């Protein structure tokens, strides 16, 4: 009986952790690219909110999860244009603009949802699942790791593609130079503004995808302030990953399992207060920062505007 309880607990913990980790993974991966380019996207939470709302609306009206996720990416990309215009092109404060984006996203998405769906509170259908033959039948790990929405496998593969791009390609070298020594990149004849714009746009696209996954796959609906600080946790994960994309998987799973532990405990008969559940991710953030903050890495020119000719 104890083995059954253990298997049930681990399956729920890992499976729920994967579900909660994917929005963090997409968002922190986008933030990693953006930070390497020198742009601190404090407004990541706003990208996710707009992405979540757009994905929910499109999926609800078309019945297609993929169109919904695509709409989330587009919404995040459009929102990131604000960062590009005000911070990269006009050299305004990245933190102030980021906070403004969050406030705008919270207000606009709440207003739109309240005006259109407050009475009906519609829900989406069950998300599709791709079971990997053979692996999905393994005890504990089969159901929790290898029976997921297809975007999960795409996301994990994307992490390693981004890692290779940052380390092995000229585009990755330019991104890293824009965050470390933008004057050297400028001297080499590559536009710092254009490079940083692509970095910020990547954060918008992946942040919007993270929000879309949260609404379409994880929650199956949209509610006001659905992200609940997910964007800020993703920024912490990106900083602790030290610019190494695969570490975002580890960080996202850690925080994802802190969110799913209550469900896992309830399945084996252990009740835990909702108040404690909501506190767990932020307690985890504090503990991780205390243990590893000194080892975090930030590019030398992160959040610093670049003006040609100035040192």
- What residue segments make up the domains of the chain, in order of their start? 2-117+149-295
Supply angle C-alpha 304, 52, 199, rounded to 5.
Answer: 25
Residue 118 burial class via C-beta count within 10 angstroms: exposed 0-12, middle 13-18, buried 19 and up: exposed
Residue 1 pLDDT level (bands cut at 50, 70, 90): very low
How far is Cα 5 from Cα 7, in angstroms, rounded to an integer? 6
Max CA distance (Å), the chain: 71
What DSSP state is assigned to residue 221? S
pLDDT higher than threshold 60 for residue 9: yes
pLDDT the model gives residue 7: 64
**Location of structure tokens 């949209």:** 222
Three-state secondary-structure class, residue 97: helix
Q: What percent of the chain has pLDDT over 90?
A: 61
Q: Dump strand ranges (E) for 147-295.
A: 147-148
Residue 262 pLDDT level (bands cut at 50, 70, 90): low
Query: Class assignment of domain 2-117+149-295?
Result: mainly alpha
C-beta separation of 36 from 252 below 8 A: no
The residue-averaged pLDDT of 1-7 equals: 52
Rounded to 5 degrees, what are φ and ψ at 142? -60, -55
Q: What percent of the chain has pLDDT over 70?
A: 89
State the distance between the two ends of the chain, measured CA to CA, in whole angstroms: 67
**pLDDT greater at residue 27 or residue 272:** 27
The residue-averaged pLDDT of 223-248 equals: 90
C-beta separation of 43 from 98 below 8 A: yes
**pLDDT greater at residue 119 or residue 101:** 101
Task: Name residue 148's beta-bridge partners.
Answer: 130
Report pTM.
0.91
């Amino acid at each position: 009986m104890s083995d059954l309880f253990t298997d049930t607990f681990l399956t729920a913990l890992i499976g729920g952790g994967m579900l909660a980790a994917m929005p963090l993974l997409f968002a922190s991966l986008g933030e990693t690219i953006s930070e390497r380019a020198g742009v601190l996207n404090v407004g990541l939470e706003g990208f996710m909110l707009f992405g979540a709302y757009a994905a929910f609306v499109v999926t609800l009206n078309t019945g297609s999860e993929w169109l919904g996720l695509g709409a989330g990416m587009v919404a995040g990309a459009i929102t990131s244009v604000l960062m590009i215009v005000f911070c990269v092109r006009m050299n305004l404060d990245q933190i102030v603009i980021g906070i403004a984006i969050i406030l705008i996203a919270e207000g606009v998405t709440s207003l739109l949802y309240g005006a259109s769906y407050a009475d009906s509170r519609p829900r989406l259908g069950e998300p599709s699942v791709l079971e990997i033959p053979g692996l999905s039948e393994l005890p504990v790990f089969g159901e929790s790791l290898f029976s997921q929405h297809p975007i999960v496998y795409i996301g994990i593969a994307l992490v390693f593609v981004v890692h290779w791009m940052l380390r092995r390609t000229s585009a990755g070298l330019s991104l890293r130079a824009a965050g470390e020594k933008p004057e050297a990149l400028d001297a080499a004849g590559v536009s710092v503004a254009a490079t940083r714009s692509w970095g910020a746009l990547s954060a918008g696209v992946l942040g919007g995808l993270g929000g879309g996954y949260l609404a379409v796959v994880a929650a199956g609906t949209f509610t006001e302030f659905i992200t609940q600080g997910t964007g800020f946790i993703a920024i912490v994960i990106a900083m602790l990953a030290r610019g190494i994309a695969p570490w975002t998987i580890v960080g996202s799973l850690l925080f994802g399992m802190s969110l799913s532990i209550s469900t896992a405990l309830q399945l084996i008969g252990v009740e835990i207060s909702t108040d404690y559940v909501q506190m767990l991710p932020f307690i985890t953030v504090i503990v991780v920062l205390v243990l590893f903050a000194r080892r975090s890495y930030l590019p030398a020119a992160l959040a610093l505007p670049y003006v040609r000719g100035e040192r």
